[in-house]
Amino acid sequence: MIRFHKEGYTIISIAFVTAFVGIFLTEKYIDTFWLMKTIQVAILIFLGLILQFFRNPKRETTINDNHIIAPVDGKVVVIEEVEEPEYFKDKRLQVSIFMSPLNVHVTRYATSGNISFSKYHPGKYLVAWHPKASTENERTTVVINNDVFGEVLYRQIAGAVARRIVNYAEKGNEVVQGTDAGFIKFGSRVDVFLPLGTKIDVKIGDTVKGGVQVIAQK
């Protein structure tokens, strides 16, 4: 059975009503058979894309404090040592995962621990792979204090299509690896910042599975 994320319930309901009304109106007012069917197929494709975007497949996470798991589904687009300017203000290993509109967009906690920082930033909507997206786009910054890795930062970044980031992390919360951390609607990216010396288990171009796949370890 297909599961859908709660953040999509309203949009899915509107999409179903819109599709039903659209198909009814084409049946009633369009006499040209091929035109009517073309419009109806387009409506059903649109509905299918909405359903596909908000799907929330169940994932079985093997909890391990020595592992950092992928927080989202998508493609690894960045692995590099960078200066993290907002919270750490020092060198970190950045791993970035890009999500196309076809990917599952649920954000999951990459590790267990205590939320020591959580902040929302309004911003632009540059394409998610743009170098300035991580500092200029709409985004959230969350830091998890983990017993093995210390503080691990992840950043949800809106893309050119996304207009709303949902973040469930609140300062002081204890969170469990692999559980629901939020959602990014319609295209996005997540950056993870790890301590220098962390062993990275993925490479650029790899497709990863959120909540399951190990991307780094001690």
Looking at the structure, do residues 39 and 93 belong to the same domain, yes or no?
no
Q: Which residue range forms the structural domain that includes residue 203?
A: 67-217
CATH number of the domain within which 83 lies: 2.70.70
What pLDDT is recorded for position 45? 93
CB 198 within 8 A of CB 149: yes
Residue 59 lies in a domain: no
What pLDDT is recorded for position 134? 65
Burial 165-188 (b: 16+ CB within 10 A, else e): bbbbbeeeeebebbebbbbbbbbb
The residue annotated as part of the active site, out of 96, 112, 134, 188, is 188
Looking at the structure, do residues 24 and 74 belong to the same domain, yes or no?
no
Q: For the segment 34-91, what is each residue's pLDDT rounded down to a tens digit?
A: 999 999 999 999 998 888 888 888 899 999 999 999 999 999 999 999 999 999 999 9
Going by C-alpha positions, the residue among 175, 215, 178 that lies closest to residue 198 is: 215
Q: For the segment 102-111, what is each residue's pLDDT rounded down to a tens digit?
A: 888 899 999 9
Looking at the structure, do residues 43 and 141 belong to the same domain, yes or no?
no
Domain count, the chain: 2
What pLDDT is recorded for position 79? 96
Residue 62 lies in a domain: no
Asked which of 18-22, 61-65, 83-87, 125-129 is least confident by mean pLDDT, the reply is: 125-129
Q: Grade residue 127 by pLDDT with cuts at 50, 70 and 90.
A: low
Is pLDDT of 4 > 90? no
Report how far residue 216's alpha carbon sits from residue 202's, in angstroms, rounded to the nearest whole number: 7
Q: For the segment 5-16, what is each residue's pLDDT rounded down to a tens digit?
A: 888 899 899 999
What pLDDT is recorded for position 160? 58
What pLDDT is recorded for position 40? 94
Looking at the structure, do residues 21 and 82 belong to the same domain, yes or no?
no
C-alpha pair distances (Å), 74 with each of 20, 77, 107, 177: 32, 9, 11, 18
CB 96 within 8 A of CB 77: yes
Report how far residue 132's alpha carbon sits from residue 129's, in angstroms, rounded to the nearest whole number: 8
Amino acid identity, position 141: T
Residue 22 lies in a domain: yes
Q: Is 74 helix (H, G, I), strand (E, B) or coil?
A: strand
Q: Is 69 helix (H, G, I), strand (E, B) or coil?
A: strand
The predicted model gives 20-26 an average pLDDT of 94
Q: Is 188 a catalytic residue?
A: yes
What pLDDT is recorded for position 136? 67
For the entire predicted model, the pTM comes to 0.84
What pLDDT is recorded for position 149? 96
What pLDDT is recorded for position 122? 85
Residue 61 lies in a domain: no
What pLDDT is recorded for position 158? 82
Report how far residue 155's alpha carbon sits from residue 157's, in angstroms, rounded to the nearest whole number: 6
Q: For the segment 131-182, what is each residue's pLDDT rounded down to a tens digit?
A: 565 666 788 999 999 999 999 999 998 865 555 788 999 999 999 999 999 9
Looking at the structure, do residues 48 and 135 belong to the same domain, yes or no?
no
